[in-house]
């Protein structure tokens, strides 16, 4: 056996760099195991010069410029304000609700994949038919009321009041459906508000809103918008079905491609130079699945364009184009088939066989198609051959019956502990060569998708590519093989037979992996407050809100660790494991170091754009779940706790802060002790500053999360920080934090009874809305965003003064409900 494992010293079948050793240790039954914080600091000081990033737009006909600018500005504002956290959550919940309601019917295995896919899609479409009918009836009631009013009387407050009156009774629909309908009404209200703004500005077009011209004072003719919106809502529910069934690929297609020709011409050219400025040399993490924020964004773009359509024909074209959706189909079935074929091929191989032909066939099939750059390069046969040669050499020590036989006990042991079994049963009886082939196939697949995330210069260089494959294979092997088979210096945990198993176990449709051992943990609140989780929150927030953790007392429990595979959202794991998706957290290096001690190497870097929600994961992302020591559970808490809106058009900044029910009660308790508001502010200050800190991180990560909204003359369709925000964002973030601190401290000192009344309601927590108006410096930023930058500008004394402000407390989670 030693000659089989350690005697392998021949040259590998590679192009370029040659590696003489694998990650695998000598195999014998029981070998004992041996035992990042990201930082940035960007300082802007002194004088610096703005140069506009915008390319000159194409000239418009005389008289059109002003009207098009007004339309685009309205489109930008409406599109931003239509974003709705609750609506996005509702789309996710509707998908999960439909899958759970028809779990038995969807579990069938008869018939070919294509016929089963059509049958399940038809079943879920029928599931949503009552909701689609309810949405149409609700929109009819809403627009009937709106059209009774003249344009001048349609204030945002009045629109909101009418929307609340036409909502169906909560007793007639499910909670997810109610949340969907409420979000749809809020979006309809924003469209009506946008139509009113266009009418008041006298802009021509916009589906003939006032019949003889928008400058006329009178009632708006909103029928075309109503008809379009009803169709869009129906199409959206069909998209939710495809989303639930993983039939929508995680597209990287720019949203600008969803625009009409007129808007594309007016908007896209202005973004070209700015987009180029953010092209990065490093690779991009691959989204594991489509996420609901994309569904919402595409719906919003289609709906907002109804305001700009010049006639009903154009409006119908926009709606029907949205209804067609993505023409692509899911790549998951092909990947599942390739994975099963690979396991079968590897299990049949004998010692001395070359795995290169098998690898050359599997590498292109295993590549997750979202890796656009890698797809182009992997299309070259020499690149695939190079990767296949390195992989073939690295896996050679484990080919054949004897290595598989020695690996089988450790793999079976890990599998038994993973599934909570006490006796050998089927797992011990499993063909050892199949078990070893499964682990090897998982290693190869993770290696391929890790390498696919590398930047172009690595993929195109044979030496760099060979090195990348070798390193990725080592890391993957350390995960999918028991520690007893891995060299001590490469092990990512200290558990004797700890390893990852892909789930579900007996199916080729692997959707996630789970580590075989749940690890005990004791977490001090000060440590938990340093561990970042999804939505800009901390682990301390989660332990307080979900598990009732007490101040100053360590939290004792156990940690279970997961890994996302292609086709995975947080709900995929949560539904299979039986807990809410909100209980998942990113296992970053810092989180692993704080929680897992000697197993800290299990943590992996998570790019900033995958830190916002467990429903948006990247391939191979690591996650964890904490269960309390005694299994007690507390109520569901909201994920999003803060949101920031910078509106250059109105010269205002708004911040929403959601205090969960446990935090709300702690703040009220501090008020009961008396004092001047300092103690309540201490409870809240991290939440107050979180939105401003998120702005800094967004600039550092080159990505605006859903919780940061920016309105300027042109919409931000790429979710990249605008050029002007990249230049002043760190300074502006500090000023926003300073202003918000001052305003919340003053509110807590002057209005404690107002806060306590809101907190004492029967709603879940309290939302504070901070509105800053006449914000100094925003007019200058608006000029810069339009390309009218001053020749020289200094941040040293910018901005001068302070804004006017208002703080309002509303019961419950009211983010996205307060833009009136």
Of 507, 540, 570, the last residue of a domain is 507
Whether 81 is in a domain gets the answer yes
The secondary structure of residue 147, as a DSSP letter, is T
Q: Residue 674: its pLDDT value, please? A: 79
Beta bridge partners of 559: 519, 626
**CA distances, 249 to each of 239, 254, 307, 332, 622 (Å):** 12, 14, 29, 9, 21
221 shares its domain with 82: yes
DSSP lists the bridge partners of residue 766 as 659, 811
What's the rounded Cα separation, in Å, for the pair 178 and 172?
Answer: 9
What is the C-alpha to C-alpha distance for residues 400 and 734, in angstroms, rounded to an integer?
A: 62
Q: How far apart are CA 440 and CA 432, in angstroms?
A: 12
Closest of 683, 711, 762 to residue 79, by C-alpha: 711
Q: Are residues 336 and 259 in the same domain?
A: no
Mean pLDDT by 10 residues, the chain (820 residues): 36 40 64 36 38 38 59 86 90 92 72 72 92 94 88 84 84 87 93 83 54 52 86 95 87 77 69 42 74 92 87 85 72 87 89 87 83 69 85 84 70 59 44 82 92 86 92 92 86 83 76 90 92 92 87 89 94 92 95 94 92 93 91 63 90 92 89 84 87 86 86 84 86 92 93 91 87 92 81 77 92 67
Q: Which two tokens stand for residue 127?
A: 């599931």
The dihedrals phi and psi of 635, each to the nearest 5 degrees, come to -70, 160
Tell me, yes or no, whether 23 and 123 share the same domain: no
* SS3 at position 98: helix
Task: Please indicate, yes or no, whether residues 146 and 227 belong to a single structural domain of this protein.
Answer: yes
Q: What is the CA radius of gyration of the chain?
A: 28
Q: Is residue 279 part of a domain?
A: no
Kindly state whether residues 211 and 304 are assigned to the same domain. Answer: yes
Q: Does the residue 819 lie in any domain?
A: no
Cα dist from 452 to 250, 284, 367, 440, 478, whole Å: 16, 9, 7, 18, 19
Dihedral of alpha carbons 757, 763, 766, 767, sign:
negative
Q: What's the total number of domains in the chain?
A: 4
State residue 508's pLDDT score: 66
SS3 292: helix
664 plus 800 within the same structural domain: yes
In terms of domains, do 656 and 795 share one? yes
Torsion sign (Cα): 199, 203, 207, 211: positive
Last residue of a domain, one of 279, 305, 324: 324
Whether residue 558 lies inside any domain: the answer is yes
Examine the domain organization and report whether 25 and 142 are in the same domain: no
Estimate to the nearest angstrom the gap between the alpha carbon of 145 and the chain centroid.
37
CB atoms < 10 A from the CB of 489, how many? Answer: 10
Angle, helix 156-166 to helix 113-146, in steps of 10 degrees: 120
The pLDDT value recorded for residue 27 is 58
| Domain enclosing residue 234, as ranges | 66-105+112-267+290-324
Predicted TM-score (pTM) of this structure: 0.85
Residue 117's pLDDT is what?
A: 74
Statement to judge: residues 599 and 647 lie in one domain: no
Of 451, 473, 507, which residue sits at a domain end? 507
545 shares a domain with 607: yes
- Is 60 within a domain? no
Q: 686 with 795, same domain?
A: yes
pLDDT at 631: 64
55 within some domain = no
Please tell me whether residues 247 and 302 are part of one structural domain: yes
Q: What is the pLDDT of residue 279?
A: 42
Within-domain flag for 46: no
* 554 assigned to some structural domain: yes
């Amino acid at each position: 056996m030693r000659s089989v494992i350690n005697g392998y010293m021949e040259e590998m079948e590679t192009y370029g760099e040659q590696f003489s050793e694998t990650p695998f240790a000598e195999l014998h039954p029981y070998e004992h195991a041996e035992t990042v914080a990201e930082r940035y600091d960007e300082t802007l000081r002194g004088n610096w010069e703005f140069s506009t990033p915008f390319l000159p737009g194409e000239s418009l006909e005389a008289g059109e410029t002003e009207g098009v600018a007004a339309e685009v500005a309205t489109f930008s504002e409406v599109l931003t304000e239509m974003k709705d956290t609750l609506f996005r959550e509702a789309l996710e919940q509707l998908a999960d609700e439909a899958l759970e309601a028809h779990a038995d019917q969807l579990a069938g295995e008869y018939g070919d994949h294509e016929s089963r896919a059509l049958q399940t899609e038809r079943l879920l479409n029928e599931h949503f038919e009552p909701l689609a009918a309810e949405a149409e009836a609700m929109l009819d009631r809403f627009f009937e009321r709106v059209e009774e009013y003249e344009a001048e009387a349609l204030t945002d407050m009045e629109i909101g009041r009418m929307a609340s009156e036409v909502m169906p009774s909560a007793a007639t629909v499910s909670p997810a459906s109610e949340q969907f309908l409420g979000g749809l009404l809020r979006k309809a209200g924003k469209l009506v508000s946008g139509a009113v703004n266009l009418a008041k500005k006298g802009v021509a077009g916009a589906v003939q809103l006032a019949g003889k011209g928008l400058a006329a004072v009178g009632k708006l003719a909103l029928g075309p918008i109503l008809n379009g919106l009803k169709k869009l809502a129906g199409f959206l529910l069909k998209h939710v079905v495809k989303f639930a069934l993983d039939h929508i690929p995680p597209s990287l297609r720019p949203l600008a491609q969803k625009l009409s020709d007129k808007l594309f011409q007016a908007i896209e050219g202005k973004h070209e130079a700015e987009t180029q400025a953010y092209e990065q040399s490093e690779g991009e993490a691959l989204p594991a699945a489509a996420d609901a924020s994309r569904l919402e964004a595409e719906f919003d773009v289609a709906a907002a364009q109804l305001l700009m359509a010049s006639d009903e024909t154009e409006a119908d074209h926009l709606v029907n184009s949205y209804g067609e959706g993505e023409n692509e189909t899911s790549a998951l079935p092909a990947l599942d088939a390739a994975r099963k074929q690979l396991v079968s091929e590897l299990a049949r191989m004998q010692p001395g066989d070359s795995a290169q032909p098998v690898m050359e066939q599997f590498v292109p099939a295993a590549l997750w198609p979202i890796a656009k750059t890698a797809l182009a390069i992997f299309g070259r046969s020499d690149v695939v051959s190079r990767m296949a040669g390195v992989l073939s050499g690295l896996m050679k020590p484990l080919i054949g019956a004897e290595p598989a036989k020695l690996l089988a006990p450790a793999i079976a042991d890990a599998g038994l502990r993973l599934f909570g079994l006490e006796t050998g049963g089927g797992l011990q009886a499993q063909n050892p060569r199949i078990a070893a082939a499964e682990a090897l196939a998982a290693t190869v697949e993770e290696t391929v998708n890790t390498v696919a995330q590398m930047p172009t210069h690595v993929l195109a260089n044979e030496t760099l590519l060979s090195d990348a494959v070798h390193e990725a294979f080592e890391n993957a092997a350390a995960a999918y093989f028991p520690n007893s088979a891995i060299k001590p210096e490469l092990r990512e945990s200290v558990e004797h037979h700890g390893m990852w198993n892909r789930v579900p176990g007996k199916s080729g449709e692997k959707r996630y992996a789970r580590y075989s051992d749940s690890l005990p943990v004791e977490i001090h609140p000060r440590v938990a407050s340093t561990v970042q989780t999804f939505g800009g929150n901390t682990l301390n927030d989660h332990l307080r809100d979900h598990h009732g953790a007490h101040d100053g007392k360590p939290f004792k429990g156990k940690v279970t660790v997961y890994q996302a595979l292609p086709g995975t959202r947080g709900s995929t794991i949560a539904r299979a494991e039986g807990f809410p998706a909100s209980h998942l957290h990113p296992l970053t290096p810092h989180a692993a170091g704080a929680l897992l001690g000697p197993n800290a190497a299990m943590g992996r870097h998570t790019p900033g754009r995958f830190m916002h929600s467990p429903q948006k994961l990247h391939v191979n992302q690591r996650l964890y779940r904490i269960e309390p020591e005694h299994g007690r559970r507390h109520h569901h808490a909201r994920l999003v706790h803060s949101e920031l809106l910078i509106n250059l058009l109105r010269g205002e900044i708004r911040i929403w802060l959601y205090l969960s029910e446990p935090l709300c009660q702690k703040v009220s308790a501090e008020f009961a002790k008396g004092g001047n508001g300092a103690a309540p502010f201490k409870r809240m200050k991290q939440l107050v500053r979180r939105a401003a800190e998120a702005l800094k991180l967004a600039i550092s990560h080159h990505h605006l999360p859903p919780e940061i909204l920016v309105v300027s003359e042109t919409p931000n369709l790429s979710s990249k920080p605008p050029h002007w925000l990249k230049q002043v964002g760190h300074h502006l973030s500090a000023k926003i934090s300073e202003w918000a601190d001052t305003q919340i401290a003053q509110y807590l000192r002057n209005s404690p009874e107002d806060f306590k009344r809101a907190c004492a309601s029967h709603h879940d927590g309290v939302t504070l809305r901070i509105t800053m108006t006449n914000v100094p410096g925003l007019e200058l930023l608006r000029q810069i965003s339009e390309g009218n930058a001053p020749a020289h500008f200094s941040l040293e004394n910018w901005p001068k003064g302070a804004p006017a402000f208002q703080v309002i407390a509303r019961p419950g989670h009211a983010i996205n409900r307060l833009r009136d």
